[in-house]
Amino acid sequence: MNICIIGAGPSGICAAKEIKEQNPVSTITIFEKTDTVGGLFASSYKGLTLVNNPLLVGFSDFLAAETLHDLHMWSAEQYVSYLKRYSEANGITEFIQYNTVVKSANFIGGKWHLTTLASDVEESHEFDYLVVCCSSNGKANLPLLPNQERFAGKIIHSSEVKDPAELKNKNVVFLGLGETASDLSYFSTEHARSTTVSVRRWPGYFIPRYHDGRPTDIDTSKIYHCLPKTLDASRLAFLFRLKRKLELSAIRSDTDRKIQAEIDRLNHHWPATRHLGPFRRTTTKSCNFIRATLQGTACLKPEIIELSGNSVHFSDGSTVVADLIVCCTGYKANYDFLSDELRAKIPSSNALYNYVFLPGHEKSLAFIGFVRPAVGTVPVLAELQSRMLGLFISGDITLPDKEAMYTSIKQQQLSARQQFPVDFPRVGHIVDYYSYLQCLARVVGVMPRQWRLFFFDPRVWFKVNFSFLCPGMFRLYGPGAKPDLVKPIIKKLPTMPTKILLIESFTYLSCRLLSLLGFKRFKIIG
């Protein structure tokens, strides 16, 4: 089979590796529009730091074990270096055609006919299967601001800011407050004349990268993530409050304590979201904006209601002077190379079966990496998607019929809408990390076998359940299992303090009991 992959970011290179591993006789070609692997990470702004530790952004059979002694989060440059090592170790580099843009992809006569552009030369290609992995390289999402034609300054997308020093002596307004805006608004304070951040609705749920130099994502265990997502609004919510109180009391750094206190204030300030916990909202896993506000070098404003001259007017009646508005508003998926007919069927990746397959086209087309976990990482999900795809192409797993797939799609949309009532309308591809992780792992057949681990390898069992959700657990059993490779690493994973684990365990057991007694709202995930 002749397979085309569009994009050589994390999703594209792991898709190539997993497909090739399951289909060694296949021919794979990757078209990448830039001159390197890494996607947006390879062209990011100066100073970008990832928001999860190296073992949570790496791939399950290529874990960065050397970071176990220091799980500080990688810079973008370090992550791109890791992706290059992964590509080279798995023989992916030879598949990539760099500086090549896919202009069109049309499915005619059972084949994909692609037109590419490289060095001003157009070429035609024919493939049996098309895998789209360019979600991170989509279109910049530039919103239309009120009366923006009257604005005397400049309006740009955050992707155009490569070095915060470019903002020197400017009055800057950042629109949005995800990780990019949080970072850039902080970095800009060293250079800009003034820094303002405007949110159209409300910020996501803030989570700091570190407490006392220790990554906070260590607290992403299975025992915690599988709890009911509505628990914050239930009668067991006092257990979460106790857990967070203990976590706050354990912070030793005065700076970190102040940051966390301000984060708690913001997380519960907006009436529409104050009852929603971290698993029911988009998250901002960066506290750099908080640092800037505590230092008095940046301020938070509500939505922009009017622009005129160099004035930016906000809904609270306030006004600031601005030379530049930086829209940190993310990206739109770019399917422009597909036909209008196909694009009309994919308003969002939530219209795909398991966010991967378009019903009726699953034998020729797949999408990898088009998800936004509220808490968690895309590469881990993309790898499991790729393993599923590789097994499907090889015929080792089958998919439901078209009608069953559409029924499943409706259910995944309903579940996402219920879990993320505030964010789903604008972030349709948002997913619950653990639920989706488990769904993919079950399809692939790589869920950890709990009872076998409990009796025959209790240390691994403990780490699988009580340490963070290291993707290595999906190499213990099933297709592609490499237990000898991952077990030594899993055994060394750190965990949260004992008192936190006890609260999480008691909460877990309480929910189990209540669920058995018929209280469905306390049902454990998996």
Whether 280 contacts 229, CB under 8 Å: yes
Q: CA 270, CA 248: separation in Å to the nearest integer?
A: 21
Q: Is residue 6 part of a domain?
A: yes
Residue type, 130: L
Highest average pLDDT, of 218-232, 329-343, 453-467, comes from 453-467
Residue 129: which H helix or E strand, with range? strand 129-132
Task: State which of 314, 331, 348 marks the end of a domain.
Answer: 331
Burial of 229 per CB tally in 10 Å (0-12, 13-18, 19+): buried
Average pLDDT of the residues in 435-455? 97
Domain enclosing residue 427, as ranges? 2-138+333-444
Q: Is residue 12 part of a domain?
A: yes
Answer whether residue 425 shows pLDDT above 70. yes
Region of poorest pLDDT, from 110-114, 125-129, 231-235, 500-504: 231-235
* pLDDT confidence tier of residue 138, bands split at 50, 70 and 90: low
Q: CA 66, CA 337: separation in Å to the nearest integer?
A: 41
Q: Is residue 106 part of a domain?
A: yes
| Tokens matching residue 307 | 């622009």
Coil vs helix vs strand at 352: coil
Q: Do 200 and 104 have their domain in common?
A: no
Q: Return the residue matching tokens 């789209």.
A: 132
Residue-wise pLDDT for 70-121, tens only, equals 999 999 999 999 999 999 999 999 999 999 999 999 999 999 999 999 999 9
Q: Is residue 57 part of a domain?
A: yes
Q: Do 6 and 27 have their domain in common?
A: yes
Show the CA angle centred on residue 367, arms to residues 123 and 398, nearest 5°.
115
Residue-wise pLDDT for 52-82, tens only, equals 999 999 999 999 999 999 999 999 999 999 9
| Per-residue model confidence (pLDDT) at position 197 | 95
Q: CA 116, CA 450: separation in Å to the nearest integer?
A: 48
Q: Is residue 464 part of a domain?
A: no
Task: State which of 420, 444, 468 marks the end of a domain.
Answer: 444
Highest average pLDDT, of 21-25, 86-90, 138-142, comes from 86-90
Q: How large a percentage of the chain has pLDDT more than 90?
A: 82
- List the alpha helices (DSSP H) in 90-143: none
Residue type, 418: Q
- List the alpha helices (DSSP H) in 221-285: 222-225, 237-250, 254-267
Task: State which of 301, 331, 361 marks the end of a domain.
Answer: 331
Answer whether residue 137 shows pLDDT above 60. no
Coil vs helix vs strand at 296: coil
Q: Do 309 and 437 have their domain in common?
A: no
**Counted domains in the chain:** 2
Residue 194: which H helix or E strand, with range? strand 194-198
| Tokens matching residue 126 | 């024919």
Answer whether residue 525 shows pLDDT above 90. no
Q: Do 313 and 404 have their domain in common?
A: no
Q: Do 86 and 148 have their domain in common?
A: no
Q: Do 327 and 398 have their domain in common?
A: no
Q: Do 177 and 301 have their domain in common?
A: yes
Q: Do 134 and 146 have their domain in common?
A: no
Burial of 421 per CB tally in 10 Å (0-12, 13-18, 19+): middle
| Per-residue model confidence (pLDDT) at position 136 | 55
Ranges of beta strands (E only) in 309-456 are 311-314, 319-321, 324-327, 331-332, 365-367, 372-373, 430-431
Angstrom distances, CA of residue 266 to CA of 16, 284, 303, 427: 42, 12, 16, 21
| Per-residue model confidence (pLDDT) at position 426 | 86
| Tokens matching residue 64 | 């960065």
Angstrom distances, CA of residue 351 to CA of 148, 244, 412, 444: 33, 36, 9, 21
Q: Do 116 and 162 have their domain in common?
A: no
| Tokens matching residue 476 | 């213990």
Whether 375 contacts 433, CB under 8 Å: yes
Whether 124 contacts 114, CB under 8 Å: yes
Q: Is residue 458 part of a domain?
A: no
- Can you count the helices (H) and strands (E) in the chain? 16, 24
Q: Do 186 and 327 have their domain in common?
A: yes
Q: Do 320 and 349 have their domain in common?
A: no
Q: Is residue 427 part of a domain?
A: yes
| CATH code for the domain of 392 | 3.50.50.60
Answer whether residue 146 shows pLDDT above 90. yes
Residue-wise pLDDT for 235-275, tens only, equals 888 998 899 889 888 999 999 999 999 998 888 887 777 77
List, as one string, the DSSP characters of 410-421: HHHHHHHHHH-T
Coil vs helix vs strand at 475: helix
| Per-residue model confidence (pLDDT) at position 444 | 98
Q: Is residue 223 part of a domain?
A: no
Tell me the pLDDT of the chain averaged across its residues: 93
* pLDDT confidence tier of residue 173, bands split at 50, 70 and 90: very high
| Tokens matching residue 28 | 């794979």
What are the beta bridge partners of residue 372? 430
Q: Do 133 and 166 have their domain in common?
A: no
* pLDDT confidence tier of residue 139, bands split at 50, 70 and 90: confident
| Tokens matching residue 67 | 């970071």
| Per-residue model confidence (pLDDT) at position 334 | 78
Q: What sign does the dihedral 197-201-204-206 (CA atoms) show? A: positive
